[in-house]
Amino acid sequence: MKKAVGEVIVAGGGLAGVEAALTLARHGVPVTIYEMRPAKTTPAHTTDLLAELVCSNSLKGTDPLTAHGILKREMEALGSVVLSAASRCRIPAGKALAVDRTAFAEAVTETVSRHPNITIRREELTSIDPDRLTIVATGPLTSDAMAGCIASLTGTPRLHFYDAISPVVDAQSIDMEHAFFASRWDAPSMDYLNCPLDETTYRAFVSELLKADRAKAHLFEDARYFEACLPVEVLAGRGADALRFGPMRPVGLLDPRTGRRPFAVVQLRRENLAGDAYTMVGFQTRLTYPEQKRVISLIPALRHAEFFRFGSIHRNTYVDSPQVLNRDLSLKAAGNVYLAGQITGVEGYVESSATGIVAGLSVLARIKDAAFSPPGPETAIGALIAYITSPTQAPFQPSNINFGIMAALDAPRKRRAELLSSRALSSFERWMENTMRALGERA
């Protein structure tokens, strides 16, 4: 790999791109951002502003006893432009950080445009020069040309274009009186936790599933799904027993309480090594969040379920990060090229922004010939980076920040949030001090 020199190219002026660009620019590095809008737009963006929020105007909660709150605390310490603009454009929304979306994007656009080290070119970047330091932050709606470049650089035949996400449940909220561990056809195994339903409960569940409110489809999504990841409510509409022959099939499973095969089963798969978070297998859904909670609570083992993440489906572009990315977010196959934002397989506005800061710091370290490692998995930023870059046996699925991906902590449920938060804080402070010393900078 040739040593790259000169300015850094940032492809995409979205949430991750602006964070990466400003992280570098503030440290004296010249940056050129390529943003294709307004000349060429995406199916979800409607303005020419940088950092446009394409859907909800909420950046989620700020409570430092939640994973989202911890993530924000770390990003604020790193000088996040997204969070500083959000706090200036905040609108009342209880504990959530909701913003006036136009004022927010205008504030970010102004900060970035005014920076003397940043040049903004309003054009699509259609190729990547592997000899130049480049951060690709082109988002879930990456242009086809750029998707093709990344696919060929990473040797992946195609990137993923639909994202099917199943809910993730807090293990401590599962009613174990109504669940049992077993793999299909297998001796007892801790890998799958099965939630059986009798016939009456199954019929009631399907009926409520079909009646439940669904999140509005974006026009471009034209409701075509991969057959392999149909939303459960779409599948249920194909017939009363469709789910029983699909993701809720009970074959190969015996309920130890009855010694018989249940009428239907929802399988939960461990989401992490600690086993404190479980994914609902094959349960991708686009019901609204309150409806997911209501309908899923009809499953006896999940009647008090708390969710680390709700299910969703939307168009997405992301790489198989555990295969193609190093921990500093550079590509294994092209060391001068870094990825940031949703394309790395993180999910959400704030998570994408956080990886922009990390990519900026990684490139800064490269320029300064300094060592760089992201923070540890007990921090929120470090948990995201570990999630996307650690090898996994299951097919890689994007994730937002949640306690289920942060390093496990053996603590009673009541004190878990408090202890996770204080552990994250001390670990992050240590990392920050070491990193800034290595970079020869003040934070």
Ligand X SMILES: Cc1cc2nc3c(=O)[nH]c(=O)nc-3n(C[C@H](O)[C@H](O)[C@H](O)COP(=O)(O)OP(=O)(O)OC[C@H]3O[C@@H](n4cnc5c(N)ncnc54)[C@H](O)[C@@H]3O)c2cc1C
| Residue number with CB closer to ligand X (162 or 181) | 162
Beta strand spans in 275-411 (E): 277-280, 307-309, 312-318, 330-331, 334-339
**Which sign, positive or negative, has the C-alpha torsion 8, 14, 20, 25?**
positive
Within residues 195-254, the interface with ligand X by CB under 6 A covers 218
Among 308, 318, 338, 349, binds ligand X (CB under 6 A): 349
Cβ pair 35, 122 in contact under 8 A: yes
Q: Which is it for strands 31-34 and 118-121: parallel, antiparallel or unpaired?
A: parallel
| Residue number with CB closer to ligand X (54 or 281) | 54
Distance CA 378, CA 411 (A): 14
**Which residue is at the shortest CB distance from ligand X?**
14
> Per rule CB under 6 A, is residue 13 in the interface with ligand X?
yes
Within residues 419-438, the interface with ligand X by CB under 6 A covers none
Residue with tokens 């006896």: 300
**Which sign, positive or negative, has the C-alpha torsion 319, 322, 323, 326?**
positive
Among 23, 32, 42, 279, binds ligand X (CB under 6 A): 42
> Per rule CB under 6 A, is residue 286 in the interface with ligand X?
no
Helix residue spans in 166-320 (DSSP H): 199-211, 232-236, 289-296
Distance CA 181, CA 159 (A): 34
> Per rule CB under 6 A, is residue 314 in the interface with ligand X?
yes
| Residue number with CB closer to ligand X (214 or 257) | 214
Cβ pair 44, 314 in contact under 8 A: no
Within residues 50-79, the interface with ligand X by CB under 6 A covers 54-56
Give the rounded distance of the alpha carbon of 247 from its chain centre.
24
Q: Collapse the DSSP code of 357 into the 3-class scheme (helix H, G, I; strand E, B; otherwise coil) and give the result.
A: helix
Closest C-alpha to 219, from 290, 317, 314 = 314
| The one segment of 9-17, 91-99, 172-180, 423-431 that binds ligand X by CB under 6 A | 9-17
Within residues 120-139, the interface with ligand X by CB under 6 A covers 124-125, 137-139
Cβ pair 225, 234 in contact under 8 A: yes
> Per rule CB under 6 A, is residue 401 in the interface with ligand X?
no
Minimum Å gap between C-beta 24 and ligand X is: 15
CA angle 419, 424, 425 (to 5 degrees): 100
| Residue number with CB closer to ligand X (36 or 295) | 36
| Residue number with CB closer to ligand X (13 or 374) | 13
Distance CA 173, CA 209 (A): 21
| Residue number with CB closer to ligand X (112 or 253) | 112
Minimum Å gap between C-beta 173 and ligand X is: 23
| The one segment of 1-9, 282-290, 335-343, 434-442 that binds ligand X by CB under 6 A | 335-343
| Residue number with CB closer to ligand X (12 or 262) | 12
Structure tokens at 241: 């027993």
Beta strand spans in 286-356 (E): 307-309, 312-318, 330-331, 334-339
* Binding residue count for ligand X, defined by CB under 6 A: 37
Please, what's the largest Cα pairwise distance for the chain?
72
Distance CA 245, CA 213 (A): 24
Among 11, 206, 230, 383, binds ligand X (CB under 6 A): 11
| The one segment of 36-44, 186-194, 238-246, 258-266 that binds ligand X by CB under 6 A | 36-44
| Residue number with CB closer to ligand X (302 or 331) | 331
Whether the bond into 38 is cis, omega within 30 of 0: yes
Minimum Å gap between C-beta 124 and ligand X is: 4
Minimum Å gap between C-beta 361 and ligand X is: 16
> Per rule CB under 6 A, is residue 318 in the interface with ligand X?
no
Among 4, 9, 12, 397, binds ligand X (CB under 6 A): 12
> Per rule CB under 6 A, is residue 146 in the interface with ligand X?
yes
Footprint of ligand X on this chain (CB under 6 A)? 11-17, 34-37, 42, 44-45, 54-56, 124-125, 137-143, 145-146, 218, 314-315, 341-343, 348-349, 352
